[in-house]
Amino acid sequence: MKSSPFTLTKQKLSKKAAAAKKARDIAAAKTPARKAKKAENQRIGQRSDSDLHHTKNGRLKRVSIKNNRGNFGKGTRNE
């Protein structure tokens, strides 16, 4: 498998800035909206044999990994 051309590096923050960022991130994760989104995703559940797609009518559809990765038989070259 090819590796990503993007490398994720840790931000170089001072201890004070890192602590402030951690506090902001935790506060954002605990907002009612984020908690509701996390709960919804847990209810839906992710499985190792399928991926989830959002349909145009706002529903979710399970798609096999084979179909998802191969663009439903059309290949991925022209995506």
pLDDT tens digits, one per residue of 8-46: 788 899 999 999 999 999 999 999 999 998 998 888 887
Domain boundary assignment for the chain: 19-69
| 3-state SS assignment for residue 54 | strand
In this structure, what token pair is assigned to residue 74?
Answer: 């059309």
Q: Tell which residue, 79, 78, 47, 76, has the closest CA to residue 63.
A: 47
Summarised one tens digit per residue, pLDDT across range 48-66 is 888 888 888 888 888 888 8
pTM, to two decimals: 0.51
